[in-house]
Amino acid sequence: MSDSLRHDFLTAATSDEFSTGAAALRIARLEYAELDPAPYLRLLDQMAAEVRRRLADADATEPSARLAILSDYLYGELGFTGDRERYEDPRNSFLNVVLERRSGIPITLALVFLEVAGRAGLPAEGVNFPGHFLVRVPAGDRPGGDGVLIDPFHRGAILSEADCYALLRTYLGSEAALDSSMLAAAGKHQILTRMLLNLKRAYVRMRSFPQARAVTDLLLGLDPSSLTELRDRGLLAYHMQDFSPALRDLLEYLRLSDASTGETEQQEHAQVWEHVKALRRRLASFN
């Protein structure tokens, strides 16, 4: 990954001058190095302009009526929907491809909804629900508090509390309990982080370690204190036989992490130490 790509993404991710969609389009440069975000941002502008026109024509003022117009346009007319057949495809994490194919995974489809709604003047916020990103449209004029929960993956379906319980148990098991924190609003940083984590998992499943390492580097750019990403970057470098950076990251992970907090942490430390010892032997053999 080039330094310029990393810089451009982090600038867009941390600056209020760039929308979440603009930052997400920088992520797509991991696969489409020459991607120009401008045409896709114009497309979002055009979609929002069409929604504003329809809202004005219908003289829609009630939140439910405004939501219906937006949903009818995105899911009825444009046909945005969840990609069930290619769910694990990394391209479902790239906003440019989602806009072109009009299909994707929950978080990228939610991002389309949020970007169009925001440009059209309709309050909406992301919801970092476990396993399945959602959108909330507030009951009043401002984000926050109560509102209608929308599932963009299922063509804008409106979810009841019972639906949320069922969705949660799909991902966390039958004993999972719904907690209010699971329905908290997700800001720009959280959305981008979750997009990157989804993409990283997809690359790891494909054993595309260079791409997964690049994504991990972006995650560390968003949160330099993340020990999990520091460890994973070292392990990915190890898989790529890039031994010196792997050793550096794994040693830093061991230095900063606390192995005394539980059995899982102790086992993890022991595994990383084994990798460190193997790396030192490898590097010593080169001398």
Is 70 exceeded by the pLDDT of residue 44? yes
Mean pLDDT of 190-207: 97
> What residue ranges define each of the domains in the chain, with the CATH number in brackets?
3-188 (3.10.620), 225-285 (no CATH)
Mean pLDDT for the chain? 93
Question: Percent of the chain having pLDDT more than 90?
Answer: 78
To the nearest 10 degrees (0 to 180), the angle between helices 209-222 and 3-14 is 40
Specify the pLDDT at position 172.
87
Per DSSP, 72 falls in state: I
CB 153 within 8 A of CB 108: no
CB 274 within 8 A of CB 254: no
Alpha helix segments (H runs only) across the chain: 3-14, 20-27, 38-58, 63-71, 95-101, 106-120, 161-172, 188-205, 209-222, 227-239, 243-256, 263-285
Is 90 exceeded by the pLDDT of residue 266? no
Is 70 exceeded by the pLDDT of residue 42? yes
Mean pLDDT of 36-58: 97
Q: How does residue 107 score in pLDDT terms, banded at 50, 70 and 90?
A: very high
Task: For the chain, give the number of residues.
Answer: 287
Bridge partners, 125 (sequence order): 136
Q: Mind listing the pLDDT tens digit for each residue in 146-194?
A: 789 999 999 999 999 899 989 999 888 888 888 889 999 999 999 999 9
Question: Percent of the chain having pLDDT more than 70?
Answer: 97
Q: Mind listing the pLDDT tens digit for each residue in 224-265?
A: 999 999 999 999 999 999 999 999 999 999 999 876 677 888
Q: Find how far residue 60's CA is from the centre of its chain.
A: 32
pTM: 0.93
Specify the pLDDT at position 116.
98
Specify the pLDDT at position 260.
66
